[in-house]
Amino acid sequence: MLQHIVPASGLLFTLQNILWINIGVFIGAVFAAIPGLTVILCVILFLPVTYSMSAIPGMMFLLGIYCAGGYGGSVSAILINTPGTPHAAATMLDGHPLSKQGRTKAALKIALYASTFGGIFSALALLFLGPQVAKFAAQLGTPECFMVCVFGLTIIAGVSGKSMIRGIIAACLGLLISCIGSDPMTSYDRFTFGVGRLYLGLDLAVCLIGLFALVEIVGRAEKKPDELHMDTSKMHDNGVITKAEYKRMARPTILGSLIGVIVGIIPGTGASEASWFSYSQARNLSKHPEEFGHGSVEGVAASESANNAVTGATLIPLLTLGIPGDGTVAIMLSALMINGLNPGLSLFTTQGDIMYAIMLGLILVNVFMLLQGKVLTPIFAKVVSIPQEILTPIIVIFCFAGAYSVNKNYFDVAVALVFCVLAWLLRKLDMPPVPILLGLVLGKMTETNFRRALLISNGNPSVFFSSVYCWIFVGLIVLAVGTILRGKLREKKPQAQPVTKEE
């Protein structure tokens, strides 16, 4: 590891990288602060910008957005009792009561410090655990790689949305869409319907603009007029956090960071799960559980440290096995692959300098998030109240410009619109979009490993059960499916009771 650190530092500490980190942090915090605009939407919108960049500045920019998004979501949660991002919901429980007590600045500071600690803790976990997991990943052959893809898709299909079956159908749809274009092994065209432009396949960024960004605009139809205007409360306090409060913050922050890292490593789980779990654990272990929900410093620290501690940990399965920990990092995978960086051990050996620069960069991202948070939080707070009348068309124009600029043609804008309509229809049918995203991202990798494994075995499907690792992944898939189904059945039980009573 040490042999990579020095050259990686040289690659990382350039004016260009520092600039992109800061732009990313600023954009991420602003986007996440606005209710209704998510981090994933922000990453999708700005992904085309990274296409012309090399790997390090491109990843630094996206990681800046990703990490700062974790903190930005808490700004509106604290100020207006509306989480900017779903994972800031737990922060809202204590952050907003603190704000109502006239301690808005203090609440924002607690969220910022806890987020920074969680983020740096997670970045260090990535730095030390990543290469070890990559060594394990290097022992996997094509059948095992296929099973890894199936494992990742199964978990995400299972945990996204209410029904596991609907999640699997959505994942199949995503994988099918990824088949459009030339066959990765023979170059024959597939599902192109005579449209020449489809031969190269559908660009991931374009599909995602439709699936996640434009559909949110159409989703404005569901909002009532009063939901479109949000006034922020003013920050009058001096933002002082007492020594006693710092002491009380320490334990939940460390605990939250640990929980965030563990939850983040598991594919399919994300910042929301981590922040809620951390919040409940902090309440259970607190000497003042009665304060939770009424402006507890510990509550804010626990949820914020956990949701930012997920950021580095989700990159561990992404960089080592190619399995994105959540939807946002799935998009980052495409940014890596465009620069010829394919997940696995080779990333840490042949491309070691670049990889270590990215991992060290994650620490730097958190440092700049802290600095920007300290200076620019009043601006982030003002952004919360930008009128939707102005914001909505601006997002659409960004989406269209982003889709056009990928290949510099209007065909891609039309594709984004088609995906927007598809996403809206799927939303009406309660179909989760994240498994489609995973299908799109993992499609080529899954198919190539599937076909290569069958070619090696001359078409014998028993190749997928031919090694210990295969059986381990089969076991993990069965375990994951069992756990998810058990959880879903538990969720349904309370709903079933009233029906029985009526009967």
Partner 1 sequence: MKDKLDTLGAKLARKEIRIPVDLTVGVLFFLLGGVVLLIMPHQVAISERDVVNGRAFPTLLMGLMMFCSALLVGKEIYKLAKKKPLEYKTVNLLVEIKALIILAILLVSYLLARWTDLFVVGAVFCALAFLIYFRCKKPSYYIITVGLAVGIWAAFRFLLNVRF
- Residue 122 Cβ, how far from partner 1 at the closest point, in Å? 32
In the numeric block, the tokens 């100020």 are attached to 79
Cβ burial 198-225 (10 Å sphere, 16+ → b, else e): beebbbbbbbbbbbbbbbbbeeeeeeee
Is the distance from CB of 108 to CB of 74 less than 8 angstroms? yes
- Residue 438 Cβ, how far from partner 1 at the closest point, in Å? 14
* Given 197, 251, 374, 451, the residue binding partner 1 (CB under 8 A): 451
- Residue 185 Cβ, how far from partner 1 at the closest point, in Å? 7
Residue closer to partner 1 by CB (options 3, 460) is 460
Task: Please provide the distance, in angstroms rounded to a whole number, between the alpha carbons at the two ends of the chain.
Answer: 65
Is the distance from CB of 49 to CB of 61 less than 8 angstroms? yes
Q: With binding defined as CB under 8 A, does residue 482 bind partner 1?
A: no
* Given 266, 345, 417, 474, the residue binding partner 1 (CB under 8 A): 417
Structure tokens at 230: 């949000």
Q: With binding defined as CB under 8 A, does residue 217 bind partner 1?
A: yes
Residue closer to partner 1 by CB (options 186, 284) is 186
In the numeric block, the tokens 């922040």 are attached to 275
In the shown chain, the binding pattern of residues 29 to 68 toward partner 1, with x for contact by CB under 8 A and - for none, equals --------------------x-------------------
- Report how far residue 55's alpha carbon sits from residue 60's, in angstroms, rounded to the nearest whole number: 8
Q: With binding defined as CB under 8 A, does residue 424 bind partner 1?
A: yes
Q: With binding defined as CB under 8 A, does residue 378 bind partner 1?
A: no
Number of chain positions touching partner 1 (CB under 8 A): 63
Q: With binding defined as CB under 8 A, does residue 382 bind partner 1?
A: no
Type of residue numbered 306: A
Q: With binding defined as CB under 8 A, does residue 467 bind partner 1?
A: no
Residue closer to partner 1 by CB (options 339, 405) is 405
Q: With binding defined as CB under 8 A, does residue 163 bind partner 1?
A: yes
- Residue 214 Cβ, how far from partner 1 at the closest point, in Å? 7
Query: What SS3 class is residue 38?
Result: coil
Per CB under 8 A, the segment of 97-105, 216-224, 304-312, 473-481 that binds partner 1 is 216-224
- Cα radius of gyration rounded to whole Å, the chain: 23
* Given 196, 340, 459, 494, the residue binding partner 1 (CB under 8 A): 459
Residue closer to partner 1 by CB (options 146, 380) is 146
Backbone φ/ψ region at 57: left (φ over 0), alpha (ψ -120 to 50), beta: alpha
Residue closer to partner 1 by CB (options 210, 295) is 210
Query: What SS3 class is residue 54?
Result: coil
- Report how far residue 310's alpha carbon sits from residue 271's, in angstroms, rounded to the nearest whole number: 6
Per CB under 8 A, the segment of 27-35, 174-182, 294-302, 483-491 that binds partner 1 is 174-182
- Residue 439 Cβ, how far from partner 1 at the closest point, in Å? 9
Is the distance from CB of 200 to CB of 181 less than 8 angstroms? yes
- Residue 205 Cβ, how far from partner 1 at the closest point, in Å? 14
Three-class SS of 55-114: HHHHHHHHHHHHHHHHHHHHHHHHHHCCCCCHHHHHHHHHHHHHHHCCCHHHHHHHHHHH
* Given 186, 284, 462, 497, the residue binding partner 1 (CB under 8 A): 186
Q: Per-residue DSSP letters for 163-232?
A: -HHHHHHHHHHHHHHHTSEE-TTT--EES-TT-GGGGG---HHHHHIIIIIIHHHHGGGGS-GGGG--PP
Between the alpha carbon of residue 308 and those of residues 56, 259, 370, 460, the distances in Å are 21, 11, 12, 45
- Report how far residue 50's alpha carbon sits from residue 22's, in angstroms, rounded to the nearest whole number: 15
- Residue 160 Cβ, how far from partner 1 at the closest point, in Å? 14
Q: With binding defined as CB under 8 A, does residue 220 bind partner 1?
A: yes
In the shown chain, the binding pattern of residues 385 to 404 toward partner 1, with x for contact by CB under 8 A and - for none, equals --xxxx-xxx-xxx-xx--x
Q: With binding defined as CB under 8 A, does residue 501 bind partner 1?
A: no
Listed residue (219, 291, 215, 223) closest to 252, CA to CA = 291
In the numeric block, the tokens 């170059």 are attached to 187
Residue closer to partner 1 by CB (options 194, 340) is 194
Interaction site with partner 1 (CB under 8 A): 49, 163, 165-166, 168-169, 172-173, 175-176, 179, 183, 185-186, 188-193, 214, 217-222, 228, 387-390, 392-394, 396-398, 400-401, 404-405, 408, 410, 413-414, 417, 420-421, 424, 428-431, 446-447, 450-451, 454-455, 458-459, 499
